[in-house]
Each structure stands twice: as structure tokens, then as C-alpha cells.
Structure 1
């Protein structure tokens, strides 16, 4: 019995995504990028798809959050197989965001097993936070949590100024 439990634990540990972020994506022109190019800077990676109802509902607030925080390196990547579907959704929703593409295998390398998924990559290129499922991007508490990880100066500063 203990042998089976040990095998199960080892299997589950092997299935858990690696903490070091290995991930590739491309832009509409076909240029491929990797997270290695961001080493030294934290980044927020957001996975979505136009066919995902939760993603569609969350995307306007996410786009507003990104717009409100231009100092954050944000990589918003669709898992749509056809770029035209993602482009049509972004246009329909009035979202002005670059179209970046990847596939399910690349997304899983970072631990995305559901959509939408938001992942924080630290300055060392490792996954520091993994948020599966839709989030309330208008929430100050959620925003503060992300900003504390993404802005080095925010780690030493109080979230609320004292008077």
C-alpha cells in the first residue's frame, strides 16, 4: 500500500508544471518570442480565448487594468487556433491590445490548465503566482496583490499611505 502511495505522489509531482518559466508565443507577423528576453523584469502573462465565455466576460476589465498600469510588462496571449477569431472578438469588444498567439502545449508549460489564467513571472524568470479562472480586475485588493509582485518598489512600500 505504501508503495502505491509513493508511486502516486511521484506521479503527481512529475505532473506539476516546472517553476521555471519556459514559454513561447508569437505576434501576428509570425515573430516568435520567449520569456528569456524578459529576464530581470517581472511580467504578467494572461491566457484567454475568444471561444471562452469567462474570458469574453473578463476581457474588458482586464484590458482596462492593463491600460491603467502601463508600467507592467503584460503578455496577453490567446489560445485561439485562428487569429481572425481573436481579432474579431477584440474589435467587437472595443479592446485595443496587440494580438499574441500561442497553443495549448505552450500554455500548459506555465501551468495554464483552465481559461482564463493569469501567471506572474518574477524577475528571475520563475512562476511566482498562478491564478486559474476569471478574476475581478476592478478589485483594488486583487490589483494590489498583483502590483506588489510586479513592481519591485511596491514590495517595500506600504499599500496605503499613512497620514
Structure 2
């Protein structure tokens, strides 16, 4: 699935979600401007997501932040997300949540299949996306994603 994440021309408006986390914490994705990142969308009610998350958890742990991945549970209540992550022993998946409406307004292409992995450039624009499971445990997957993000960091704004 990594070749499908090869960046193309910028699509959509810059991502500007306000994510909600435990204890009333929030994260604005606008604060990520200046560096590209991977936005991974999943849901507690999504069977393929449930299968994929352990590999993503391991990927995040092993990458040590070299590949910035922001996992976001879409249309999943925060208490359920936190319980799901705790029961699944997924400590490296941050419990960020986002409403379906906010995501649909940005994505503008109907209902995407979850899980969904997006490459976001340093200006906050969608450059590539894959709907469905990713092979987070692929040989040299980390290296491939580092190279993709480094190429976007060096690219001039379009």
C-alpha cells in the first residue's frame, strides 16, 4: 500500500481539524503547519480498523516520532475510544477524536472507507490517501514513509 501514498498535487483545503482528547484537551491540526505528517483515520466500530491498529501501534512505537503519525478516531465517542485502546493494549495510539460531520465537510468526497491513511504536506494539504488497511509492518515501511515526508518538507508550496 505504500506506493499508493506517493504524493500527487495538493487536494482540498488545508486540514484544520480541532481534535478532542481526554480531560478536555484539544489539538488543532493547524499547529502542524511547517512539517508534513501522516493522518490516520479509524473508528472503534470498524472491523478492519480493529485488525490494523496493533500494527500501527507497533509502528508508532518503533519509529520513535521519526514518522509523525496522528491517529484519529472518527465518529467514535471519546470514552469508548479510551476504553478500546486500554483493552487492546494500544498505548501508542493517541485517543484523539473527530466528528463525522467535520471530517465529511473537509473530505468532500462522500463517505470514505475506514481505515484511511492520508499524507498531509507542510502547508496542511492532502497529497495522497489510501482507504483500507495499511501494511504498517512492511519491510522498510518506516524508511519509505520518512522519504515521502522528507520530499514534502523540501518541496516548495504550490
TM-score interval w.r.t. the shorter chain?
0.7 to 0.9
The 1:29/1:129 distance shift into structure 2, 3 A limit, reads same
Cα deviation digits, residues 114-145 of structure 1 (max 9, x gap): 11011111112111111111111111365444
Q: Which residue of 1 aligns with 2:119?
A: 120
Q: Which residue of 2 aligns with 1:28?
A: 22
Q: Counterparts of 1:73-84 in structure 2 under 5 Å?
A: 73-84=68-79
The 1:153/1:79 distance shift into structure 2, 3 A limit, reads closer
Contact 2:41–2:74 at 8 Å: present in 1 too?
A: yes
Cα deviation digits, residues 26-65 of structure 1 (max 9, x gap): 2112233222211111111111111110000000001111
Q: Return the TM-score normalized by structure 2.
A: 0.76
Contact 1:81–1:103 at 8 Å: present in 2 too?
A: yes
**Two-structure CA RMSD over aligned residues (Å):** 2.4
Q: Distance in 1 between matches of 2:49 and 2:18?
A: 21
Point out where structure 1 has 5 or more consecutive residues left out of the alignment: 1-16, 156-163
Point out where structure 2 has 5 or more consecutive residues left out of the alignment: 1-10
Q: Distance in 2 between matches of 1:93 and 1:31?
A: 22
Q: Counterparts of 1:13-52 in structure 2 under 5 Å?
A: 18-52=12-46
Aligned to 2:123, the other structure's residue is in SS state: coil
Aligned to 2:76, the other structure's residue is in SS state: coil
Which one is further off, 45-54 or 142-151?
Answer: 142-151
The yes-or-no answer on 1:88 pairing with 2:99 is: no
The yes-or-no answer on 1:102 pairing with 2:102 is: no
Deviation at 1:82, TM superposition (A): 2.1
Q: Distance in 2 between matches of 1:93 and 1:102?
A: 20
Bigger RCO of structures 1 and 2 (CA < 8 A, at least 6 apart): 2
Aligned to 2:23, the other structure's residue is in SS state: coil
Q: Distance in 1 between matches of 2:146 and 2:18?
A: 24
Deviation at 1:152, TM superposition (A): 4.9
Contact 1:148–1:154 at 8 Å: present in 2 too?
A: no
Aligned to 2:127, the other structure's residue is in SS state: strand
Contact 1:51–1:80 at 8 Å: present in 2 too?
A: no
